[in-house]
Amino acid sequence: MAMENGALKWETATPGPGWGGDLLDLDAYLRRIGYGGPRRATVETLFDLHRLHKAAIPFENVDVALERGVSLHLDDIQRKLVEAGRGGYCFEHNLLFAAVLERLGFPVTRLLARVRLGRRQVRYRAHTVLAVGAGYELWLADAGFGAEGLIEPVPLYSGSVAKAGVWSWRVLREEDQWVLQTLRDGDWFDLYAFRVEQHFPADFEVSNHYTAHHDRSAFTGKVVAMRGTEDVQQTLVDHRLTTRHPGDVLERTDLTADEVVDLLRGTFAVRLPERDARLLRRRLSAPTRPSPSHSPLQEA
């Protein structure tokens, strides 16, 4: 995929070197998300896979919260998200999804984005998205932004709008970059901005290391899980669950450590072994540490 005179174009599906796509167990992934449809690089397949991935594989940072870090090697991602029934955050979700799409014949470009959440200041690139060719069009695919993220791909041209259930998203061209917005309180609200340019695995390793380890990262020092369906968006940060209902109605619930673990296993569908559940309860029962000035909703 490339830029030509400000427009996007794509040719053939040639996986870039170093992404580890040869390690993918496609059958296991498709079982994990419950997909039994055609294995052809069509728009319908792209939409079905995106929806099912979003619904089946949780967004969570348990390994970061327990100070284990996050590996971006595809065999490690697959072992965690596919075999172990766990979830992950954006780098894990979208690198796995990119490998699946490439195996099925879709042209895919892996990109890094700067999360905005309504703010225009330049942040480090803390998010990853995909530009995907299907049906002679280009699509923005993103299975890993969390609660407010896309449920289905959106066409990658300025002014395109996608809707799933009660939520809407729009793509805009802003000088030399693209912006994904969502509709909040009747106004378009910036989620993140990105440029279509070539990236390499090393670029993702640097962003992932900062996100998983730096004390100013929105994901260190706290437990985070997010879930977005067609009619509700839920974000868990330590003991606080925030639920966004249609009409931008917010509901906040405070939870005990035991309730957090139950919620992760139930509502967020994270398969937690008892050892991790025990460590999380201990972590959540410890005295509260000072938190960064920004929330997990600002970096996904």
- Give me the active site residues, please: 90, 127, 142
- Single out the residue of 148, 168, 169, 285 nearest to residue 228, CA to CA: 148
| DSSP letters for 245-283 | ETTTEEEEEE--HHHHHHHHHTTT-----HHHHHHHHHH
Could you list the beta-strand ranges (E) of the chain.
2-4, 7-9, 59-60, 108-115, 127-134, 137-141, 154-155, 161-164, 167-174, 177-184, 187-194, 224-228, 233-237, 240-245, 249-254
Alpha-carbon distance 240 to 255, whole Å? 6
Task: Report the C-alpha gap between 72 and 78 in whole angstroms.
Answer: 10
Amino acid identity of 199? H
For 9, 77, 129, 189, 244, the CA distances from 218, given in Å and listed in that order, are 34, 21, 18, 20, 20
CB-CB neighbours of 54 under 10 Å: 25
Give the separation between CA 145 and CA 115, rounded to whole angstroms: 10
